[in-house]
Amino acid sequence: MNIGPYSYEEYLRLVKAFHGRLDPGLMIGGFMVDLALKNLPEGEVFGAISETPVCLPDAIQLLTSCTIGNGRLTVLDLGRFAAILYERDTGQGVRVFLDPAGLDEWPAIEDWFLKRKRYHEIDHQVLIREIKEAGHRTMGIGYIHVEPSRLRRRRIGPVALCPDCGEAYPAQDGIRCRGCQAGKHPEGSNGTIRNVSSWS
Ligand SMILES: [Zn+2]
């Protein structure tokens, strides 16, 4: 049994090293990305989308050349445990999702995925065994079309120095960097990062 280019055991070792612990989401995510890779249309360069920021982006980064840093992995927060791989020139791709209808045979996966039990109430050895036994069988797959231009990262363009923090930022963002704009308009931000002389 392989997950992407790795054996199952190699993949588990990579997950622990990269993600810090062996999350069920990364194990299932590994099988999901593996299924998508096996059904990917022909093409030179592909991109990836995770429909959740939880766990799945790390499985994509471990198993493909799509990373957040190289701009070929887009992380959406749609709240669905689904991964998309698509060919960047044509936009043709596949979407793999964990299918609730396919979980009847796997009660521990169902309890975990649908949060029918609290995490500490789930027998993790059973859960891990079910994930390995089920492999791709809990997953649905569909063909999709992605409009790649909508996902391409915008160009940075000319750079300016921010009058507030003094750091470099894309001049197209306005008269100050977006970090400082968020600080000036806290209602429009998720919180503010500001410089202090010490933590005390
Ligand atoms: Zn600034």
User: From the CA of 5, how far away is ligand 1's center (Å)?
Assistant: 43
Q: Tell me, what's the pLDDT at 129?
A: 95
Q: Tell me, what's the pLDDT at 188?
A: 47
Higher pLDDT, 85 or 44: 85
User: From the CA of 152, how far away is ligand 1's center (Å)?
Assistant: 25
User: From the CA of 180, how far away is ligand 1's center (Å)?
Assistant: 4
Q: What is the mean pLDDT of residues 16-28?
A: 93
User: From the CB of residue 197, how many other CB atoms can be counted at a distance below 10 Å?
Assistant: 5
User: From the CA of 172, how far away is ligand 1's center (Å)?
Assistant: 13
User: From the CA of 76, how far away is ligand 1's center (Å)?
Assistant: 26
Classify each residue of 8-35 as buried b or exposed e, where b means 16 or more C-beta atoms within 10 Å of its C-beta: eeebbebbeeebeeebbbbbbbbbbbbb
DSSP result, 104-144 = TT-HHHHHHHTT-S-GGGS-HHHHHHHHHHHGGGGEEEEEE
Q: Tell me, what's the pLDDT at 182?
A: 81
Q: What is the mean pLDDT of residues 153-168?
A: 91
Confidence of residue 47 (pLDDT cuts 50, 70, 90): very high
Q: Tell me, what's the pLDDT at 139?
A: 96
Q: What is the mean pLDDT of residues 148-173?
A: 88
Q: Is the pLDDT of residue 191 over 60?
A: no
Q: Is the pLDDT of residue 149 over 80?
A: no
What confidence tens digit (pLDDT) does each residue in 97-147 have? 999 998 999 999 999 999 999 989 999 999 999 999 999 999 999 999 998
Q: Are 85 and 54 in contact (CB under 8 A)?
A: no
User: From the CA of 181, how far away is ligand 1's center (Å)?
Assistant: 7
User: pTM here?
Assistant: 0.85
Mean pLDDT score of the chain: 90
User: From the CA of 162, how far away is ligand 1's center (Å)?
Assistant: 5
3 state DSSP class of 99: coil
